[in-house]
Structure 1
Amino acid sequence: MATREDPGTKTRALHGASVLILLQLVSRAVTFVANQVLLRFLTAQLLGVSTQLEVYYLSVIFFARESLRVAVQRQDSLDFPAGNSKNRLKKNGNQSTQAVVNLGYLAIALGVPLSFLLGYLYLSSVSASTLATAPNLAVSLYIYGLAAITELLSEPAFVVMQNRLQFGTRAAAESIATFLRCVVTLGSAVWGSDRDFGVLPFALGQLSYGAGLLAVYAWHGAGLAKRESFSLFLRPIPDLPPKTSREEKQGSTMFIMSYFYQPAIQLASSMMTQSVVKHILTQGDTFLVSVLSTPTAQGVYALANNYGGLLARLVFQPVEESSRSYFSRILAPSTSTTGTAMITTETHGPADNLEPKSRPEVTLAQEANATLQSLLKSYLLLSLAITTLGPTAASPLLSLVAGPRWADSDAPACLAAYMWYIPLLALNGVAEAFVASVATGAEVHRQSAWMGVFTLVFGAAGFILLRVLEWGAIGLVVANGINMACRIVWCGVFIRRHFAQKGVGFELLGVLPSAGSMLAGAVASQLVKQIVASGAQGNAKAALIELVKLTAVAVPFVVAVAFFERKFIFATYQAIRGRGKSIS
């Protein structure tokens, strides 16, 4: 198998991750400030209902576009089969771009019926008491469905920008959309504070988010389409040379109805089952808590999830997306492995030179191995700080930012437990990104089967912890942790086997922090428990004092970890700076 890599791919992936992380920092900071104001107008029950509506919205978006996005990302990392097929799209770069645009319309076609189907299922499952105590719930659901369709309308332009690694356009789109969502949500909540709007402000904010994305992507996409003479509308792929006699005998065709590239659809279809299972597992906590607990408990968990998952949304998600793109480009299986062919998109302007240069497969595997180990170790070092300081900081931090209504609930204890869940969330994200980048069709189906088993484990753990032991939202955090641990173990076995097949060893123990760092974490953890009081709930001044005490311990702890990990930090810095040193 000939594996290819563009020498600038890693640099662009790192740059893209940096842009997305910066975007997330700014947009989440604005969102965070707006949410603190919103919390003053919300009860735990309304927050729980708004979380359910968000899951409905995310489900429509995820099922409609996730597998298609993965197929588009992997399309230019695979070769065409032998014969004239290879030249059919390379003959004209505009045709290949149009083929990518057409794939985006499949997400719209899937999203419209999904919004109606899932909306009907949700309304059918809502209890009469919830409908009575949550004003404008049905109207809000309809608006969320419209918001999902609006966001999906931007998909044809998005996939082109993503395929060209145009992270700047994505940064602009998400920044503007996030700002609009914050302004509309907060403005409508404040304006309707004496009118009992219920969850309607969240629905209006989400609709403005989708409209913002559509406007920016349509603007930039139209400009690119005009310069390169392709269309953002659905168009047939013209002037295809006739098929070879061999293809005629096999009955093969490159496109379905001259619009949709068949191998990409085949790959997306093979990953659809995995996407469904993955989404159920990702949002399974909300499904489970809605069945096994009260709306108030749902609100408590939603608050802990929003605060605890902030780091995952700020850092882990953009790194996961960029690493998936990076690993796909240098390690994705060839057609001899997957049995499918993908489009090789020709690029223009700043995204030129995406055609990889041939390099030995073992060299690429070693580079990917080093990069993956570096990511995992970086995550574990960050996780060490979170688990050392986070559980103790949860109570005073929540008192300061959320106010006495939430500080006097079960939210502080739930948030403290969530701090131990974040490391599992981080490791699973990057591990599954690697698997999605390199897995063959058979391996994807095998992973889907195992994820189904883990779903059963998750459900059983949730039932025991929520119904039998009555741990409430904390039990849900523990159940999610068990599920994530199972998924991480599976991915670890897959990763080791994958690199072993390429003659490269993957040392799991090599990603662990040094003994000195773990000792520093143990000492700092015990120290903050002794000096930081847990009774600061509802008192902002007392909470601030306790956080200052915690900072006094955190600073020397971070310095100690930096000292013990100085070789790794220096090697990572050199790699990011492009000096060519490997990371171990």
Structure 2
Amino acid sequence: MSSTTEPSKEAPVSNVSSSSAGGGATILIALQVGSRALTFIVNQILLRYLSPELLGISTQLEVYSISVLFFARESLRVAIQRQTDEPGNGKDEGKKDEKVPGGHVDGRTAAGKTQAIVNLAHLSIYLGVVFAVILAWLYLRYTDPIVLQTPYFQGAFKLYSIAAVWELLAEPCFVVVQHKSLIKIRGRAEAVATVLRCLMTCGSAIWASRNVVDIGVLPFALGQAMYAVSLALVYYGSVWDVSSAGGFNLVLTPIFSDDKAAYILSYFSRPLLILGTSLFVQSIVKHVLTQGDTFLITALATPVSQGIYALANNYGGLLARLILQPIEESSRNKFGKLLSTVDGAPSKTKIEEARKDLLMLLRSYALLSVCVLSVGPTVAPLLLKIVAGSRWTTSGAGDVLATYCYYIPLLAFNGLTEAFVSSVATESEVNRQSIWMLAFSAGFAGSAFLFLQVLEMGAKGLVWANVLNMFFRVIWSTAFITSYLKRHGSTLSLGEIAPAPLTIAAGFGTYAVLRQTATTFNGGFTDLVKSGGIAAVFVVMLAFSERAYLLQCWNSMRGQGKRD
């Protein structure tokens, strides 16, 4: 994130082309589609062997692992995005001939800039050990005793702890890959790790079933351990040569700088570390909001309800993980460099380029939202019955998944708008955002208590609590973006984002027709065919209504492909 004073000591930012950002997003999307498709297949197999209770417990373990990783690396990752690969500016040229001490990397060179982020990444490893211990103590102290009695739970929990720290060992390689846009290396590492995790998880579950051995949630833990080990090994095997050619090291290495205050203990960039520290408080609040649904349902709901919500969340969040998350990552990386203030205020040209990209993504998200809201609530339960079986649909998971469709559009807009905010906000603005995040967190907890305990809506109530929370977060980040663009002589209006009136009308009509048709459903395959036919008509109407915009997007993608 941009900061007010300290980060301005960093090197000037390099131009990031739309083509490179788009290409990175394309590769990440392809990676997500492949890995999620494989994971999806494995999950269908596991659902035949798992009860809702075990799925709920496995979700708790996953949240523990995610929490350790998030607290250890997220704030540092965001801060590191402000670092550039360019050598120092002109004022250092007269000092280039200064002798660099042995064992040091010159901080004024591109190698020195990269070494700075590698050194910071090592902090994530140490933080990971600390958070693994603290969060493990908290979880074991306050979790339901019934959960602790699950077969092989203690062994599975220890494996998750070790796997989280092991995955953090790959962080120095990850930041290099991300910094230098070596997306293919990331794709290879994550693909190999995902395949091995799926094989280990599925293989151990099938073995236990055939041998009539109850190993509880141990298959998930074995899979997570395999993922962490293989991820680190592939990363180091791929990035080691990159570090040798680039003149930097993947281990902690002191950095030489004529500015003695630039690096703490000659290892850690002071501006980046200060920014990362200020972001850490916000990351805690953000994580509580992101994973708050799991925390609350663990505290307020039965293991069965936890399993139902976990299933709906997994399927409902597929779109976010496959498409939206890679776009969010790529956008944050591009906006962070394009609108960086380390070399002064961004130019009018860069502001307009960022505005144009943001506007196109927001408009695309608006069209996607119309599709999801029109078709999703009716079709999603039908698809769930096919892939998960009637055992899960009769448990109420279908209704929860239908409700989740109202949450997806807000999830999409929030991810993109907060990516922009995190890329341009100053340190004071980050602190102000953290205060608002705390308010949203309190509101979310209150609404969740109302829906879960007072109204007894179960997992469906938790989805509605998420909807309210995400709505206010989108409002806040949109207001911030509007204010930011206005300060830089630009604008962003709702009319530029909203779909055409015909598109909106077609969406409402499709929703009404599908809801009416659903009253005749009997749970057979013909119901899916009927819904698919209605959805196809809607898609044709949308394509006609938005033909000018879709043609513009197509031409933009073709131009990007030629540049690539």
Stretch moving more, 58-67 or 564-573: 564-573
Counterpart amino acid of residue 379 in structure 2: A
Is the CA contact (8 Å cut-off) linking 1:151 and 1:214 kept in structure 2?
A: yes
Aligned equivalent of 2:243, options 225, 231, 240: 225
Structure 1 segment 98-109 matched on structure 2, within 5 A: 98-109=115-126
1:180 paired to 2:196 = yes
Tell me, in whole angstroms, the C-alpha distance in 2 between the residues paired with 1:9 and 1:68: 24
Tell me, in whole angstroms, the C-alpha distance in 2 between the residues paired with 1:456 and 1:289: 15
Is the CA contact (8 Å cut-off) linking 2:70 and 2:287 kept in structure 1?
A: yes
Is the CA contact (8 Å cut-off) linking 1:23 and 1:171 kept in structure 2?
A: yes
Structure 1 segment 304-453 matched on structure 2, within 5 A: 304-334=312-342, 361-453=347-439
Structure 2 unaligned segments of length 5 or more: list them: 97-105
Is the CA contact (8 Å cut-off) linking 1:333 and 1:439 kept in structure 2?
A: no
Aligned equivalent of 2:284, options 246, 268, 276: 276
Distance 1:560 1:138, change over 3 A: same
Query: Normalization by structure 1: what TM-score?
Result: 0.89
Query: Following TM superposition, by how much is the alpha carbon of 1:138 offset from its aligned partner in structure 2, in angstroms?
Result: 1.7
3-state SS of 1:74 partner: coil
Cα shift readout 1:115-161 (whole Å, capped 9, x = no counterpart)? 111011111112222222x2111211110011101110000111111
Aligned equivalent of 1:192, options 194, 201, 208: 208
1:24 paired to 2:32 = yes
3-state SS of 1:69 partner: helix
Tell me, in whole angstroms, the C-alpha distance in 1 between the residues paired with 2:226 and 2:126: 21
Tell me, in whole angstroms, the C-alpha distance in 2 between the residues paired with 1:162 and 1:469: 46
Tell me, in whole angstroms, the C-alpha distance in 1 between the residues paired with 2:518 and 2:81: 47
> CA-atom RMSD, angstroms?
2.2
Tell me, in whole angstroms, the C-alpha distance in 2 between the residues paired with 1:57 and 1:85: 46
Counterpart amino acid of residue 219 in structure 2: P
Tell me, in whole angstroms, the C-alpha distance in 2 between the residues paired with 1:220 and 1:363: 37
> What's 1:342 paired with?
none
Tell me, in whole angstroms, the C-alpha distance in 1 between the residues paired with 2:312 and 2:236: 36
> What's 1:577 paired with?
558
3-state SS of 1:196 partner: coil
Distance 1:200 1:178, change over 3 A: same
> What's 2:268 paired with?
260
1:510 paired to 2:528 = no
> What's 1:139 paired with?
155
3-state SS of 1:503 partner: coil
Tell me, in whole angstroms, the C-alpha distance in 2 between the residues paired with 1:260 and 1:463: 43
Aligned equivalent of 1:479, options 465, 471, 474: 465
Structure 1 segment 151-190 matched on structure 2, within 5 A: 151-190=167-206
Query: Following TM superposition, by how much is the alpha carbon of 1:96 offset from its aligned partner in structure 2, in angstroms?
Result: 2.4
Aligned equivalent of 1:568, options 541, 549, 558: 549
Distance 1:181 1:380, change over 3 A: same
Tell me, in whole angstroms, the C-alpha distance in 1 between the residues paired with 2:12 and 2:353: 13
Query: Following TM superposition, by how much is the alpha carbon of 1:258 offset from its aligned partner in structure 2, in angstroms?
Result: 1.1
Query: Following TM superposition, by how much is the alpha carbon of 1:78 offset from its aligned partner in structure 2, in angstroms?
Result: 10
3-state SS of 2:261 partner: coil
1:115 paired to 2:115 = no
Is the CA contact (8 Å cut-off) linking 1:384 and 1:518 kept in structure 2?
A: yes
Query: Following TM superposition, by how much is the alpha carbon of 1:363 offset from its aligned partner in structure 2, in angstroms?
Result: 1.9
Distance 1:535 1:190, change over 3 A: farther
1:459 paired to 2:467 = no
Is the CA contact (8 Å cut-off) linking 1:365 and 1:502 kept in structure 2?
A: yes
> What's 1:556 paired with?
537
Tell me, in whole angstroms, the C-alpha distance in 1 between the residues paired with 2:505 and 2:70: 41
Is the CA contact (8 Å cut-off) linking 1:77 and 1:329 kept in structure 2?
A: no
Distance 1:54 1:335, change over 3 A: same
Counterpart amino acid of residue 179 in structure 2: N
Query: Normalization by structure 2: what TM-score?
Result: 0.92
1:203 paired to 2:221 = yes
Query: Following TM superposition, by how much is the alpha carbon of 1:71 offset from its aligned partner in structure 2, in angstroms?
Result: 1.1
Distance 1:78 1:218, change over 3 A: closer
Tell me, in whole angstroms, the C-alpha distance in 2 between the residues paired with 1:112 and 1:9: 38
Distance 1:187 1:390, change over 3 A: same
Tell me, in whole angstroms, the C-alpha distance in 1 between the residues paired with 2:466 and 2:85: 34
Cα shift readout 1:147-185 (whole Å, capped 9, x = no counterpart)? 101110000111111100011111111111111111000
Is the CA contact (8 Å cut-off) linking 1:112 and 1:149 kept in structure 2?
A: yes
Tell me, in whole angstroms, the C-alpha distance in 2 between the residues paired with 1:135 and 1:86: 67
Distance 1:4 1:571, change over 3 A: farther
Is the CA contact (8 Å cut-off) linking 1:316 and 1:426 kept in structure 2?
A: yes
Tell me, in whole angstroms, the C-alpha distance in 2 between the residues paired with 1:385 and 1:111: 40
Aligned equivalent of 1:71, options 73, 76, 79: 79
Tell me, in whole angstroms, the C-alpha distance in 2 between the residues paired with 1:577 and 1:432: 28
> What's 2:103 paired with?
none
1:43 paired to 2:61 = no
3-state SS of 1:433 partner: helix
Counterpart amino acid of residue 39 in structure 1: L
Query: Following TM superposition, by how much is the alpha carbon of 1:405 offset from its aligned partner in structure 2, in angstroms?
Result: 1.3
3-state SS of 2:341 partner: coil
Cα shift readout 1:71-95 (whole Å, capped 9, x = no counterpart)? 1111229997995499775643322
Tell me, in whole angstroms, the C-alpha distance in 1 between the residues paired with 2:246 and 2:82: 23
> What's 1:345 paired with?
none
Is the CA contact (8 Å cut-off) linking 2:85 and 2:110 kept in structure 1?
A: no
> What's 1:92 paired with?
109
Counterpart amino acid of residue 227 in structure 2: Y
Is the CA contact (8 Å cut-off) linking 2:61 and 2:157 kept in structure 1?
A: yes
Is the CA contact (8 Å cut-off) linking 1:73 and 1:325 kept in structure 2?
A: yes
Tell me, in whole angstroms, the C-alpha distance in 1 between the residues paired with 2:246 and 2:132: 34
Aligned equivalent of 2:486, options 495, 500, 519: 500
Tell me, in whole angstroms, the C-alpha distance in 2 between the residues paired with 1:292 and 1:49: 14
Is the CA contact (8 Å cut-off) linking 2:160 and 2:225 kept in structure 1?
A: yes
Instruction: Tell me the number of residue pairs that the alignment of Structure 1 and Structure 2 aligns.
Output: 542
Is the CA contact (8 Å cut-off) linking 2:16 and 2:337 kept in structure 1?
A: no
3-state SS of 1:506 partner: coil
Counterpart amino acid of residue 486 in structure 1: F
> What's 2:101 paired with?
none
Structure 1 unaligned segments of length 5 or more: list them: 244-251, 338-359
3-state SS of 2:83 partner: helix
